[in-house]
Structure 1
Amino acid sequence: MSKVVVLEDVVDRQRFNTVRVAVIVLCFLVMFFDGYELNLIGYVGPALISHFSISKAAFGPVISAGLAGFMLGALMLGDLGDRFGRKRVIIAGTILFGALTLIAAWSSSLGIFIALRFVAGLGLGGAVPNAVALNAEFAPARVRATTIGVMFVGYTLGGAAPGWAAAVLLKEFGWRSVFYLGSCLPLLIAATMIFILPESVRFLAANKRIKELRILLAKMQDEPLPVGDFEILSNEVKAPGSPSLQLFKDGRGPDTLFLWFAFVSCLTSILFVMAWSPTLVAGLGIDPGRAALIGAMWQTGGAIGSLLITRLLDRFGILTIAFSVLLAIPLVILIGRVGTSETVLMIVILIGGLLGSGGQVGLNAIAGTIYPTMIRSTGVGWAFGMGRVGAILGPLIGGSLVAAGLDVRNLYVVMSLPFALTALSVALLFFRGTKRARLVDALTG
C-alpha cells in the first residue's frame, strides 16, 4: 500500500523555510514597487509639467493613466495566473511595468508618455493579484491574513519611496532619475524571481504537475517525504471554462458581489480622506506643509493596521474587519471637528488610518482566501479592479460636496458613511459563511 502525503497538511504544518521566505520577500517587493509606480507621478509632477510645457489642468490624464491601466489589468489579466500559473504572470507583469517605466522616461511627447504609463499600469494590474494569490497559497491557515498584511506594508512604504527618492535625486539628477530607480530595480527583481520564486503548490496540484510538486514539497517539509512511491492527496481541481464566470458559480455569486461592494465602499471613504484631508486641514488655517504631514498620518496608521488587523483577522475571523471599519467612522467624523490642534489631528488621523486602511488590507486578505485555487487570482483581480471604482469615487464625490459648499464638519460625516456599508457587506459575508458551515455539518453529521 502506497504512503499518502496530504498537500493541505504540508502547507498548514510548515514553519519558516526557504520557500516561504522567498515568496514573502519577493511578493513584498512586488507590492513595494506597485506603491512606487502608482504614486510616482505625484512627486515629480512639477518637473513633468515644466518638461512637457503643459498646464496643471492638462496634467490630470498623466496622473490617472497608470491607475486606469491597473484597474483594467486587474480585471482582464488576473485570470491569466489561474490559466498559466502565478509565477509567469508575476514575472511578466513586473518586466512590463519596469521596462515601460524606463522607456517612459525618454518619451518624446505627452501622448506617448500617457500611453506608456497606461500599459505599465496593465502590467501592475496583472502582477499584483497573482502575488496576493501566491502568498495566500503558501501561507499556513493560521497566519494567512497576516502574511498578506505584511505584503501591503510593502505597498505603503513603496507609496512613500518616490518622495524619498525625489528628495535625494531630483535636484541633482532630474526627474528621469526617479523613473530609472523605479524601473531598473523591478527588472532586477524580475530576473531574480525567474530563478528563486516558486510556482504555487496548489496550482501545481490542480494542474497535475506532480514531479514539480514533489520537489517543492520536499523543500517545505521539516521531515523528509516518504521513501519510494507515495500519493499526494489534494482537493485542488482545475476550473472548467472561464475563471471569471466561475466567480458566480456554485453559490459564489452573492459572496463575490458582497466582496466587491465592500471594496468599493471602503476605498471611497479612504481615498476621500487621503486625497482631501491635506487641503481641508490647510483650509482651517494650518500651514500647508504641516497639513501635508498631518494628512500622511493616515497612511502611517494604515501600515500599522496592515499588520494588526490581519493578525486579529487570523485569530478572530472576518467580523474583525466589520468592527474595524465601524470604529473608523467616529475617527473620520472627528477630523472635521477637532479644530486646529495639530497634535490631536495627527492622533485622530493616525488611528483612523489604522482602523480604516487596516480594514481594507483585511479585505485584501479575504479576497486572497475566499476563492478556491482554480479562480483565486481571478477573484483577487476583480476585487482590486472594482475597488479602483471606489478609489475614483471618493475624491470625486468629495470634490462635488466641497463645490456645493458643504462645511468641513458635515463633509467628513457624509464621507464616513461608506464605511458603514463596508461593515454591512462583511457581516453578510460572515453570515453566509456561517450558514454554509451549518449546512455542511448537517449533511455530514
Structure 2
Amino acid sequence: MTIDAQAPAHHSSAPSRSPAAWAVVALCTAAITVEGFDLIVYGVALPAMLGDDALGLDKSLAGTLGSLAYVGMLIGALVCGTLADRLGRRRLLVAAGTVFTVFTVACALAAEPWQFGLFRLLAGAGMGGVMPSCVALSKEYAPRGRSALVATVVLAGIPVGGVLSALTATTWGETLGWRGLFGVGGVLSALVVAAAYFLLPESRPLPAAAAIAAAVDGGQRESEAAGVRTVLSRAYARHTVLFTVGNFAVLLAWYGLNTWLTQLMREMDYPLGSALRFTLVLNLGAVVGSFALAVLADRIGPRVVTAGSAVLAAVAVLGLSQGGSTAVILGVTALAGVGAQSALTMLNDWVASSYPASARATALGCVSGFGRGGAIVAPLLGGWILDAAMGPTTVFYVFAAAALVCAVALLAIPARRG
C-alpha cells in the first residue's frame, strides 16, 4: 500500500500540504541518503583500500576507480531523467535504487581492481537515476513558498549519507574493513528501496489536457511537452549551458573533497582518526549550513545565495590548503561543506524552478548528467596530482578554483523578469 497523498496538481497553484505529502519528501530524502552513503563511503574507505596489498592500488588507480561511479551516474542521470518524465518517478526511483544496491554489495565482494571498477560503474548508473526522480517527485509535493527548503531537505541526504559513512568508518572501520563498509551501504540501501516500493506513490506524466492548456495559455509553449527540445530551445539554451558549467564545477569541488579529503589530511600528517573527522565535519557542515541558506534563498531568491555559497566554498578550500591546528581546520572544513553543498542544492532547486513542469526532470537529468563530468574528473585529478608528487596543497588549489568557476557561471545566468 502506498502513501495516500493528494495527487500533485501539475497545473494547480496549490500543491499538497498534507502530512502524507511530507512523507513522500521523507522517503525521497531517505533514498538520497543511502545514495550518499554508498557514494561517499569510497572516500572514507580509501586509506584502507590503499593499504590492502591484495588490491595493489596506487593513488592514480584509486582515482580512476573513484571516477567510475560518476561515469555511471552521468549515464544514469541522462537516461533516467528523461524516462522519469515519461514513465513515472516512482518506477524509476525503485528500479535505479535496486541497481545501485545490488552492485554496492558486489563492490564489497570484488576480488580484483577491475571487478571493483566494473561494479562501481554499474552502481553509479543506478545512483544517477535516483536524484532526478527524487528531486522532481518531491518538488511536486512541496508546499508553496517552500521549494528551496524541500530541495535542501532532499539533497541534504547526500551529506547526511556522508556523515553516516564517516561515523561508521570512525566507529567500526577497523572491525569492518573496507569491504564491510560497502556491505553496510548495501544493507541500508536495500531497506530504503523496499520502503519506497511499498509506500511511495506514483507520479504521473503531465496529462495531455493539461499540456494542451499550458500550450494555449503560453502562446509559444507547444514544445514544452518534449523535455529534451525544451531544455535546448532558444528560450532555455543559455540557462542550460550555464547551469551545466556551474554544476560541473561545483561537483568537481564537492566530490573531489569527499573522495580525497581523508587521504589529503593523511598526506598533511594528520593521524587517520583526525583525517576521518574532517570528512565527518565536512558533511555535517553541509547539512546544517545548507538549511539556513535555503531559508534565505526562499526569501531573496536563489541567485545571490547560490553564487555566494560557491564563493564561500572557494575561500574555505583555500584555507584548508594552508593547514594549521586541528580545531581551526575543522572549522574551515565545515565552511567548505556549507558552501559547496549549499551551492549544489540551490543550483538544483534553481534548475527545477527555471523550466516548465513537463520538462523538469529532463532538465535536472541533463544538467546533473553532463555536470557529472566534474565529479568524474575530480577523483582523477586528485590521483594524478598526488602521483606526480605535487602535494595536497595543489589538489586544494584546483578544487578552490572549481568552486570559483561555479560562482562566475551562475552570476552569468540572466535574471528572470517579472
2:12 aligned with 1:8 = yes
Q: Which amino acid aligns with 1:25?
A: A
What's the CA shift for 1:404?
7.0
Q: Tell me the distance in 1 between the aligned counterparts of 2:62 and 2:378.
A: 19
The equivalent residue for 2:57 is 56
Which structure has the larger Rg? 1
- Aligned equivalents of 1:106, 1:400: Cα separation in 2: 27
Looking at structure 2, the residues matched to 286 and 128 of structure 1 have their Cα atoms a distance apart, in angstroms, of 34
Higher relative contact order (CA 8 A, sep 6+): 2
Which aligned pairs between 1:172-321 and structure 2 lie closer than 5 A? 178-200=181-203, 203-207=204-208, 243-294=227-278, 296-317=280-301, 318-321=303-306
CA RMSD of aligned residues (A): 3.7
Distance change (3 Å), C-alpha of 1:292 and 1:65? same
Deviations 1:388-437 (A, max 9, x none): 22223345445666677768778755643333332222222242x23xx3
110, 114, 118: which one aligns with 2:121? 118
Shift of residue 27, structure 1, vs aligned partner? 0.4
Aligned to 1:92: 95
2:19 is equivalent to residue 34 of structure 1: no
**What's the counterpart of residue 319 of structure 2?**
334
CA distance in 1, matches of 2:105, 2:265: 36
- Worse-superposed segment, 82-91 or 274-283: 274-283
Partner of residue 338, structure 2: 354
In the TM superposition, what whole-angstrom CA distance separates every residue of 1:215-239 from its partner, at most 9, and x where no partner exists? xxxxxxxxxxxxxxxx999979996
Q: Distance in 2 between matches of 1:82 and 1:256?
A: 18
Amino acid at match of 2:99: L
Deviation at 1:21, TM superposition (A): 2.0
- Hey, what does 1:443 align to over in structure 2? none
Q: Provide structure 2 residue ranges, at least 5 long, that are not aligned to the other structure.
A: 1-8
Question: C-alpha separation between the residues in 1 aligned to 2:102 and 2:208?
Answer: 31
Shift of 1:373: 1.9
Cα offset for 1:112? 4.5
Unmatched segments (≥5 aa) in structure 1: 210-230, 438-445
Task: Tell me the CA shift for residue 276 of structure 1.
Answer: 4.8
Partner of 1:424: 408
The reply to whether residue 22 of structure 1 matches residue 23 of structure 2 is: yes
Relative to structure 1, the CA distance from residue 235 to residue 163 in structure 2 (aligned partners, 3 Å threshold; closer, same or farther) is: farther
Counterpart secondary structure, 1:145: helix
2:350 alignment partner, SS class? helix
Mark the CA change 1:89 to 1:295 in structure 2 (over 3 Å): closer, same or farther.
closer
Question: Which position in structure 1 is the counterpart of 2:365?
Answer: 381
Q: Deviations over 1:95-148 (max 9, x none)?
A: 222233345555576544443332222122112211111111211241111111
Q: Distance in 2 between matches of 1:274 and 1:354?
A: 13
Specify the alignment match of 1:81 in structure 2: 84
Counterpart pick for 2:355 among 368, 371, 376: 371
What is the TM-score normalised by the length of structure 1? Answer: 0.77
Equivalent position amino acid for 2:152 in 1: G
- How many residue pairs were aligned? 404
Is the contact made by 1:260 and 1:387 (CA closer than 8 Å) also made in structure 2? Answer: yes
Q: Which amino acid aligns with 1:131?
A: C
Match in the other structure for 1:128: 131
Q: Which residue type is aligned with residue 86 of structure 1?
A: R
User: Could you give the per-residue CA deviations for residues 279-329 of structure 1, whole angstroms, max 9, x where no partner exists?
Assistant: 555555544532442354322211122212222111111221122222333
Structure 1: which amino acid aligns with 2:13?
D
Whether the 8 Å contact between 1:328 and 1:355 is mirrored in structure 2 is: yes
Q: Residues 136 and 148 of structure 1 are in contact (CA less than 8 Å); yes or no, is this contact kept in structure 2?
A: yes
Q: Does 1:67 align with 2:70?
A: yes
TM-score by length of 2: 0.81
Quick one: distance in 2 between partners of 1:162 and 1:380? 26
Alignment partner, residue 137 of structure 1: 140
CA distance 1:271–1:125, change in 2 (3 Å): closer
SS in 1 for 2:336: helix
